[in-house]
C-alpha cells in the first residue's frame, strides 16, 4: 500500500474517491468528514460515484452532492442505475465499471462501505474497492440500519457541531423521498455522530468513525 502524505488534508491537489451503493450512502457514512476536508483544503478534487439510483433518487443525489461538494476545487459525480438489492447477482458489469475506474483514477483517499456490512449491495462495493485499489488508503464507513451491524471503528474524524448540523441539514433537505422511513431522522444522524465522538474521545463531542484495515507509514 502506498504511504499517504501526512499533509493530505492541506496539500494542494489532493484527490478523494467516494463510493456509495445507494443515493444517500456516501453522505450518511462520511458526509461530515468530507465537509471537514473541504473546510481545511480548498484544493481537493472529488470523484463521487453512486451505483444505484432511480429517477427521483438521482435528482436527490445530485442535489445532495452539490451541497456537500460546494467548496471542492473540482468534482465529478456519476449516478449509475444498477439494480438495487441485486448487486451480487448482476456483479459482472459492476466489476467492469470498477476495472475502468481503477484505470482512470489514483486517489489519495477512498471512502467506501464496510466489508462486514450485512447489506449485500454495500458488501459487494466494499469487496470490489479492495480488489481494484490495492495501493491506496481505503476508509470504510458505516450505515445505520435495521440489521444492527455497526462495527468497531479504529479511525475517528473529530467534527465541530457546526459541521454535524450541516451534514444533517443537507441529508434532510436533499432526500425528501426518505422522510417516511423511521430511521431517517435528525436524531439518528446526530446519535451516530455523538456515539463515535464518545468512542474517539473527541474534544468537540462529535466524530465519524471508519475502519482502516491497512496503513503504511514511511
Domains of the chain: 15-210 (3.40.50.10320)
- The confidence score (pLDDT) of residue 217 equals 75
Reported pTM: 0.94
- The confidence score (pLDDT) of residue 12 equals 75
Residue 201 phi/psi, 5° resolution?
50, 40
Distance (Å, whole) CA 218 – CA 213: 17
84-122 tens-digit pLDDT? 999 999 999 999 999 999 999 999 999 999 999 999 999
- The confidence score (pLDDT) of residue 8 equals 62
Q: For the chain, which ranges sit under pLDDT 70?
A: 1-10
- The confidence score (pLDDT) of residue 1 equals 38
Strands 155-158 and 207-210: what pairing?
antiparallel
- The confidence score (pLDDT) of residue 3 equals 43
Closest CA to 113 of 199, 212, 29, 175: 29
Amino acid at each position: 500500500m502506498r504511504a499517504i502524505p501526512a499533509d493530505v488534508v492541506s496539500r494542494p491537489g489532493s484527490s478523494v474517491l467516494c463510493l456509495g451503493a445507494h443515493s444517500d450512502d456516501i453522505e450518511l457514512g462520511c458526509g461530515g468528514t468530507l465537509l471537514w476536508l473541504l473546510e481545511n483544503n480548498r484544493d481537493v478534487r472529488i470523484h463521487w460515484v453512486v451505483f444505484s439510483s432511480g429517477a427521483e433518487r438521482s435528482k436527490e443525489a445530485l442535489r445532495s452532492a452539490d451541497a456537500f461538494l460546494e467548496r471542492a476545487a473540482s468534482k465529478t459525480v456519476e449516478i449509475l442505475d444498477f439494480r438495487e438489492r441485486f448487486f451480487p447477482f448482476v456483479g459482472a458489469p459492476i466489476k467492469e465499471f470498477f476495472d475502468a475506474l481503477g484505470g482512470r483514477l489514483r486517489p489519495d483517499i477512498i471512502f467506501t462501505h464496510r466489508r462486514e456490512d450485512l447489506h449485500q449491495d454495500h458488501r459487494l462495493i466494499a469487496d470490489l474497492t479492495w480488489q481494484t485499489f490495492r495501493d491506496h488508503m481505503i476508509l470504510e464507513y458505516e450505515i445505520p440500519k435495521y440489521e444492527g451491524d455497526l462495527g468497531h471503528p479504529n479511525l475517528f474524524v473529530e467534527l465541530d457541531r457546526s459541521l454535524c448540523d450541516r451534514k444533517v441539514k443537507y441529508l434532510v433537505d436533499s432526500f425528501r423521498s426518505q422522510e417516511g422511513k423511521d430511521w431517517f431522522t435528525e436524531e439518528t444522524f446526530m446519535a451516530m455522530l455523538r456515539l463515535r465522538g464518545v468512542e474517539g474521545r473527541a474534544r468537540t463531542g462529535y466524530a465519524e468513525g471508519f475502519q482502516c484495515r491497512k496503513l503504511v507509514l514511511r
